[in-house]
Each structure stands twice: as C-alpha cells, then as structure tokens.
Amino acid sequence: MGLRRPAARALGIALALALGLSLFWGSASEAAKKKAQETSAEETRIVGRELHDCEEVRLDGPGGSMEHVAVRDQGELPICFGETAAQLTDAWRFTHGDTDYDFQTSGLIAALGTYHAENEWELDNGGYAPNAIAAIRRGGACSRAVTLESQDILLASEIVDLLKEVRYRRNESPDQRTELTEGELGALARYVGKPYCLASSGALPGFEEVLRVLNDADPLRMISEVLAHPCQGTNLRKVSVPPLLTGLTAGGKSGTQIANYYLDRIRSKTDMPVEIAFCQKVFDDPNFRLGRNKNACDKDMHALLLIGKRPNPLTGQCEFLLRNSWGVECGASGIFFDCENGSIWMDAETLSGVTIEAYELGKGRR
C-alpha cells in the first residue's frame, strides 16, 4: 500500500534531515579526527625559534665528564639499564677526583645487583637505571676488567638460553623429556658447580640434579653469585654517586618542551649525562613517533645516555649525541643514524617523539 501524499512528504523531509545530519556529523567527525592528528603531530613538532641554545657541547671530548668512560656492549643480555648506570657512575667518579681511569664499573654486575635487591630482573626483561644506581650505591662498583665483562656477557647469554631450555624441558612429561647433552651439563656445572655444589664429585650432573638446583635456587641469582665472586678487595670500590631520579616524564609535553629540557641539561662539557628511557622502534623506522600514547612502546623500551648536542649545518636542526651500549659500531642503531664511536646523532624532533622518561643524578622531577 502506498503512502498518502502528506505522509510521503513528511517522510521525505525526515529523510532529508537525516541525510543532512549524517553528512554534518560525518564532516564533524572527520574534522575532529584531523584536528586530533594535527594536535598529536604538534606535540612532537619542534619550533625552531622556541628552542633554547643548541651550541655544540660534547661530554665525551677533552676535559668532558665522559672523556674517560669506556664504550659498552651489552651483547644479547637485557642490561642496557645497568650499562647506563655504570657509565653514569664512572662519569661522576672521574669528575669528582677519581683518576683511576682503568677502573671502569661493570654494567653487568650493576644489573645483577638490582635483582638481588629488587627481585625484578627476569630472563626476558630489563630493569631501571635508578635501581642499578641504587645497587652500586649500596654494594659498590665492581671493575669490568676483573669480571672480564665482554666474555661474561657472552657466557651469561649462553647460560640464560640454556636455563630457558632446561625450564622448558622440566615441563615435559618424563617419557617425552630430552636428556641434557654432555655439553649442556658441562656448561651448567661450569656456572653453578662451586656455589651450589653441583657435580662436586667431578662427574657431570644428571638431569634430576640440575632440576633440583633450579628448583632450589633462582637461575639469575645463580649467575649473579658466580659472576660477582671476583668483586671484592681492590676490585670493589665504594662510590658515593648520588641517586638517579626522574627528571622528565614526556607525557603531556610538547616536542619543543622535551627538546628544551635536553638542551638545558647539556650546557657545559663537565655536566653529567642524562639517562633517557625511550622507544627503540625508531631504530627500525626513523619515522616512528609515540605521539600521545606513551605506552605504545610495549617491550621495545631502551636506555641510553645524552652526552652532547650540536646544530646540523646541512639541515639547520638541533641534534643530540646519544651514547648507546651496542659497541663502538653502534649495532642496529647506526643504520639510520650517524654513528660515532658507540654514540649516535639524533635530531631533536625524533628524540622528543620517542622519549618516555629521562633521569638525572641527584635531581628531581620536572
């Protein structure tokens, strides 16, 4: 049955109004979305005229606080927080009367020290530099030379992988369980034999004995006790380094505000480095930015040190020098960013767009 003319006319008006409202709200929605995108971009946009002084300063140059601090390589271990804490400790030591430049603090032992105190370091996760500094303040700085850190990192990486495998096998049923090989058992005995009386008779331990040790002791504590054993006597040094406190939280701050914070921290070559927690996804994609969502980084957080700044004569942008802990050739961080003896140059807009937090020795929140 057809509608009568007045009803049809009313329906037509209603449909027109509905269509108009739909177009209006659709347009408003698109406008709001565009505005949100522009606001998010503005949060990381650097306004040149609003930046503070970007005159070149390098902490790793002659007379600088980082001049004698060695470049680190954390290998495959999640100890970037320990390496930054160790370098901060040495920078503080060397600017406060300690001239024993051969004594370089072990980042591996600093990281393990946080586990002892905080029970927070896990096989697959990292930690926080303030806790590593607290471990050094509490237990002292252990020499990298004594612990042969470059070798211990590789060995510790191997044992972590082995312990993961043993844990996996522990969950298998006895009839499906694969026995440990002689090489695997030997590696375990090499690490845990002395402190845990494993294979004390000289024979290789059996699978059940390995499981007993793993059930009785945490693997990371096991590694910590073995590697930290040489850290005593002249190889251990008490250091009165200040605590490492939050200096900046990036959430809610514009890119210009974050950049100016960094510029103000590095004004003299004797200033202390700033520890930065940021999203390392930028190493794979130099256009990556966190935007408003500072939690978008998930498990891709990384720690490094701000140790310099300069104006780029080609681009006109201000750049920051960031000391990484991936060796003198910078590893993957040197693919898209200029590498210079273990440090990379990153422009102010990029760094501001991936910053999560920053920390300073003895300083409070901003």
In three-state form (DSSP H/G/I as H, E/B as E, the rest C), the secondary structure along 185-214 is HHHHHHHHHHHHCCCCCCCCCCHHHHHHHH
Q: Is pLDDT of 2 > 90?
A: no
Residue that wins the pLDDT comparison between 111 and 247: 247
User: What pLDDT was estimated at residue 336?
Assistant: 96
pTM (predicted TM-score): 0.73
Confidence tier at 59 by pLDDT (50, 70, 90): very high
pLDDT in tens, 248-276: 999 889 999 999 999 999 999 999 999 99
Of the candidates 347, 301, 300, the one whose C-alpha atom is nearest the C-alpha of residue 322 is 347
Average pLDDT, the chain: 76
Contacts of 299 (CB under 8 A, 6+ apart): 125
Phi, psi of 65 (to 5 degrees): -65, -20
Which span out of 79-93, 125-139, 228-242 was modeled with the highest average pLDDT? 79-93
- pLDDT > 90: what percent of the chain? 45
- How would residue 58 be classed by pLDDT, with cut points 50, 70 and 90? very high
What is d(CA 266, CA 236) in angstroms, rounded to the nearest whole number?
31
Lowest mean pLDDT among 3-7, 108-112, 132-136: 3-7
CA 260 from chain centre, in angstroms, equals 22
Given a cut of 60, whether residue 61 has pLDDT beyond it is yes
pLDDT bin (cut points 50, 70, 90) of residue 225 is low
